[in-house]
Structure 1
């Protein structure tokens, strides 16, 4: 307030000096101007809250209040000294003084903001090193992000990078815009620690090129979500997140076809086995958005079933008895379906035939997604009897219950490891496929439409390398690889789940659908990319002072260097560009039944070699590459 008194007095003196072209003391009634200036300004400043603002955070709201005060003050001052007039006071003073006053008032506040901000920055830098960032993208999202960072002061923005030549060389709020060439030079020149991707509308190919250009720069790369996620408000630093799996893979995701998604789901009873697993839980998340009449969650793991049920009930209106119960609204990230959904949990094993029939008869599902399986290759390799009971006979039991209870569509979630398998997990999934193919052959005896969808690894699932590598990087390394030349097909869990649902809508019976996984990814390259994009460097012979070392531990029993998706070479296209249909040989139902009976008897003995011999006969392409063991059958693991 004292500062404003001085500014008011100075603005009056300066106005007279500029108008009269001489500097001196007030004469005659000129003192009235000073008294009126202070008398008009202070009540207005107080009433409009100019003294309630915290100066270091002066922003658009304070500026708007000052503008309103300026309009009212200028009107009163103009009327008093220009329209009415006062002796010894030139009429132009009524215009000059308000302009000078508000230049001084505004400048004083922004000076204080700058001064206090610098003090705050000095204090922060004294206690910790502030991250230094480049923002890739000088568009609307990039400018809003820079504004959010400047007010938050958690990070220092040194510049924008943009592909647009018309923006390059210009400045935005005092921050320079640089071309996309010479990015690594900028990183070293400014000691950049973070690169923030503010390019929500760019296509996946260009995005992958940008990310690849940052490999080896030693910067942490973070990104903003897509345009749809940003549409509801201004961009904040909290919106930044680490790169998702599509960024790591460089995959372009094809938008789903709504008609295919809804065909077997909307207003129908849907049952998902293995509902608490990686694929099963994502299937449930996708299904719940498509407004089924009921969704039956079946799993043998109590904890996994609890977690997915608690997650889903926040997104739906759960029908319990005759009462509608609204799901929690907080932290709701999923769109609400149009209809109430009966969400049911069934704690059961897919191997319990009597209990399964009871569940199927009680709920009468129209569509069943069978995702329940043991899938960790080393564990199943060491416990073959249990793996086969669950993966083969669990599938057979579910299929039989579906037949007896009139299920319209039964979809098996399969794996690329079923193609020319070298491990128990893969061969058990191939036999599960054979079961459904054989049952589909006798379609005249039933109305159930059996199909299966085969795809490779999904990033982010339990047992996937991506979460393992992330944890190892966070722990400071080393990253462990079984072999430097191992390649795998990869896809994100949401994309895989959507494609499984769409494939099921195209099935006519006995179909083996194969998802287009793109090009196989070398696991070593994936590990290196994850290290680089975490702002770290790989420690190797070329970089002995790097941060994270990559150790090769050797292939595990049953593990292959590469995976395949097709047994034959005759895939047929479908209505969806990412879904193919394979036509593969299989056993007749009568022949398969006999072999399954032999296999079931062998399982009771836990004789690993006998089990292996039967598996070889069932699946001629099965080529095990390790010793036959079953730890449950008395085998002693080697140290």
Structure 2
């Protein structure tokens, strides 16, 4: 409907312009002496043929595609098209008049041709000029941008996905920079009314489902996705279609990253694996978060890690009174310190080098800083390493967490949020079992504490230290093979900022003892993930880069779960955060918690003295659903 309304408006405007051009041509030719007998002799011929001449012009305009351009993006290509169509229409009118043995003065044809170009072109360019007149140098670029000669020799053929404002801006920018060696040969858009129209002289030849076919037909070398306002799901579908070609891919950042920025080639980035998640940006309740973070002293353990460092970045935005990053590893937290102090020069930010294993050292930290809010992200997380080092997993993930929980209770921390994992659900490995014990300790402590204790459980985060995606990229850089442990293995994935935003939001919802579960979307098949990363790197999976199946590692599941069957689940006010009901601790855990008279050092000494299989037996007593044989 919109398409036909636009064409109808153009037809009406053209009819007016065509006839106004003829009338003005007669007035100019006869020096505006309308009382002249000669004037009326010729003008009567025009009046008698006004309908026929108008129809001839409109037919020629239609046949030469003047109504297939999106006039809101009109540019120099449309001027060239208008010159050609106006010349053709003038020639057709001359042929008609000669055939019917009628005639006008020759200057009438010249004047009307020139006026047609000015009037018809003015209609199409007027809207764009009004929109862009404020931009520096806009008028010049409207008329002269395309006159720059294209680079000689070979050039990259480009397809634009998205025939909107951003797509038009990219096409114009490419035409203004012939030195880039690019030429836009075709555009794609899902809006039905844009099909077979032209945008800045480029044909919109189909929707995103035709990308593979059009890329082959037009010999496309590079695809640019120019839809910054599109939802992640739509981008995912487009990228999947692009992956069926061997074209390079570029994408404009999301609209939120382009605020107050001009869309241009310089803003393009490579398509990344995050674009394939199909997940929309997280929306957080800033008022809730500010309420428990702003003006408070916040401690983040594991502050130099992937999650911990992002927690610091996000928390810094909410103006805490003081932010403390605690980590045992100095290098990453040192880099974080420089980043935070450069980005937030007014924030009081401190780094503490310490291990959560040492109760005495952590006590000193609590005594000195007296934090109001604690985010506990320090943990050993690598499944295969913890399988072969179960003692260290227990000491760090269980005893270290217990130290943090006990001291948070003792020093009246207001909110304590622990980072947990989907591997804590029906654990099949040491890492998951230790995190489940940590959850149970937290839930037990919350029953009798003034501190609001909660845990947030989620799956894998994209790009975190040691995660599968950086490993795949390194394997691709070496020429392969890319290793996958099983053809059908699946995992949940989130971006680090997304996970951290939801962790902070969950902390605002906590009342005590909750295990919050983040909506991780649909699980991702790791084989598909590997193939997509290979394609995004410019190679063909199984052809350029081999994918080798190595077999499941010790303690590894084919798929991860986010909830124990017996926990149940409830929705929260946030559509991506759910909450599980607390479970009573096992008898083994109760005995462990009753050993308050035993110091942390004695606990650590006792665990170190155990054999690895004894440590796993002990874990199984604490977590009855821990299955060591899977």
Shift of 1:210: 1.9
SS at match of 1:538: coil
Could you tell me how far 1:625 is from its partner in structure 2? 3.1
Aligned to 1:324: none
Contact kept? 2:227, 2:252, Cα under 8 Å: yes
Residue in 2 that maps onto 1:404 = 410
Identify the match of residue 163 of structure 2 among 138, 149, 153. 138
C-alpha contact 2:371 2:413 (8 A) present in aligned 1: yes
Once residues 166 and 147 of structure 2 are traced to their aligned partners in structure 1, the CA distance between those partners, rounded to angstroms, is 28
Aligned CA distance change for structure 1 residues 264 and 111 (closer, same or farther; 3 Å): closer
Match of 1:491 in 2: 494
Match of 2:384 in 1: 378
Q: Deviations over 1:46-92 (max 9, x none)?
A: xxxxxxxxxxxxxx9xxxxxxxxxxxxxxxxxxxxxxxxxxxxxxxx
Aligned position for 2:585: 586
Per-residue deviation, 1:515:
1.1
Deviation string for 1:530-580 (max 9, x for gaps)?
Answer: 2334443222xxxxxx22221111111111111111113411111111111
SS in 2 for 1:414: strand
Residues 435-459 of structure 1 show CA distances to partners (whole Å, capped at 9, x for unaligned) of: 111211222xxx2221111111111
Paired with 2:211 and 2:144, the residues of 1 have a C-alpha distance of 36
Q: For 1:113-192, list aligned pairs within 5 A.
A: 117-118=149-150, 120-122=151-153, 125=154, 130-152=155-177, 153-154=179-180, 155-180=182-207, 181-192=209-220
Give the Cα separation in 1 of the matches to 2:473 and 2:148.
Answer: 40
SS of corresponding position for 1:422: coil
Match 1:237 to one of 265, 270, 290? 265
Q: Deviations over 1:189-216 (max 9, x none)?
A: 2222221111111223322222222232
**Number of positions where the alignment pairs a residue of Structure 1 with one of Structure 2:** 489
Instruction: Identify, as 1 or 2, the structure richer in helix.
Output: 2
- With normalisation by structure 1, the TM-score equals 0.72
Q: TM-score, normalised by structure 2?
A: 0.73
Aligned to 2:623: 619
Q: For the Cα contact (< 8 Å) 1:595–1:618, is it kept in 2?
A: no
Contact map agreement 1:221 1:534 (CA 8 A) in 2: no
- Please list the CA deviations of residues 110-165 of structure 1 after superposition, one character each: whole Å capped at 9, or x if unmatched: 999989834x433xx4xxxx433211011111111122223333233222111223
Counterparts of residues 574-613 of structure 1 (less than 5 Å): 574-583=572-581, 584-587=583-586, 590-594=590-594, 600-613=604-617
Match of 2:545 among 542, 545, 548: 548
Is 2:464 the partner of 1:464? no
1:538 aligns with 2:541: yes
CA distance in 2 between partners of 1:355 and 1:409 (Å): 21
Higher mean alpha-carbon deviation, 578-587 vs 551-560, is at: 578-587
Residue 303 of structure 2 corresponds to which residue in structure 1?
A: 275
Secondary structure in 2 matching 1:156: strand
Unaligned stretches of 5+ residues in structure 1 = 1-18, 20-59, 61-95, 104-108, 319-340, 540-545, 627-639
Change (3 A) 1:550 1:149: same
- 1:9 maps to none
Residues 370-390 of structure 1, C-alpha deviation per residue, up to 9 Å, x if partnerless?
000111111111211112111
When the two chains are superposed, the root-mean-square deviation of aligned CA atoms in Å is: 2.9
Please say if residues 185 and 202 of structure 2, whose CA atoms lie closer than 8 Å, have aligned partners that are also in contact: yes
Secondary structure of residue in 1 paired with 2:311:
helix
1:284 counterpart = 2:312: yes
Q: Quick check: 1:438–1:587 contact (8 Å CA) kept in 2?
A: no
Match of 2:51 in 1: none
**What is aligned with 1:249?**
277
The CA distance in 2 between the partners of 1:565 and 1:280, in whole Å, is 21
User: After superposition, where does 1:297-376 map in structure 2 within 5 Å?
Assistant: 297-318=325-346, 341-376=347-382
Aligned partners of 1:483 and 1:553 also within 8 Å: yes
In the alignment, the residues of structure 1 paired with residue 229 and residue 251 of structure 2 have an alpha-carbon distance, to the nearest angstrom, of 12
For residue 517 of structure 1, give the secondary structure of its aligned residue in structure 2: coil
Partner of 1:515: 518
